[in-house]
C-alpha cells in the first residue's frame, strides 16, 4: 500500500511565518508564495520532531527567497523561486536539502 502525504494549498505570505507543531503534525507538504519579498519560515522545536520530514515548495512568481530556519533562527536551507526543499529532524537539529526545481 502506498503512503499518502498530507498537503496544503499555496499560501501567500505577507510576512515571516512560523509553522506550529499542530500544523506539522497534520501536514507534510507545503507550498508558499513569498508574496513579493524574501520571507523567513520558522520550523517548530527539534525535541518534538524526531523523524519529521517536510517538503516545502517556493511558488514565487519572481526571484523571492524563503529562508527556512530552526526555532533558534539558524538557517536550514533557502529555496528560491520554483525550487523546493526537503527538511528533516533528528530531534536535535533540522537539516535541509534545497534547489530541487519543479
Is residue 6 assigned to a domain? no
**Strand, helix or coil for residue 89:** strand
SS3 state at 87: strand
The answer to the question of residue 3 being in a domain is no
Q: How many domains does the chain have?
A: 1
* pTM score of the predicted model: 0.92
Query: pLDDT tens across 36-63, in order?
Result: 999 999 999 999 999 999 999 999 999 9
Of the two residues 3 and 38, the one the predictor is more confident about is 38
In a domain, 68, yes or no: yes
- Residue 3 has a pLDDT of 57
Q: What is the CATH number of the domain that holds 39?
A: 2.60.120
99 pLDDT band, cuts 50/70/90, is confident
Q: Look up the domain containing 17 and give its range.
A: 11-101
Residue 24 belongs to a domain: yes
21 occurs within a structural domain: yes
Cα(100)–Cα(102) distance, integer angstroms: 6
CB neighbours of residue 20 within 10 Å: 10
1 lies in a domain? no
Amino acid at each position: 500500500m502506498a503512503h499518502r502525504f498530507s498537503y496544503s494549498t499555496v499560501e501567500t505570505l505577507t510576512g515571516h511565518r512560523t509553522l506550529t507543531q499542530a500544523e506539522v503534525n497534520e501536514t507534510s507538504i507545503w507550498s508558499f508564495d513569498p508574496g513579493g519579498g524574501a520571507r523567513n519560515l520558522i520550523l517548530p522545536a527539534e525535541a518534538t520532531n524526531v523523524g519529521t520530514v517536510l517538503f516545502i515548495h517556493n511558488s514565487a512568481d519572481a526571484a523571492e527567497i524563503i529562508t527556512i530556519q530552526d526555532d533558534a533562527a539558524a538557517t536550514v536551507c533557502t529555496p528560491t523561486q520554483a525550487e523546493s526543499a526537503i527538511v528533516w529532524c533528528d530531534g536535535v537539529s533540522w537539516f535541509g536539502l534545497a534547489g530541487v526545481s519543479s
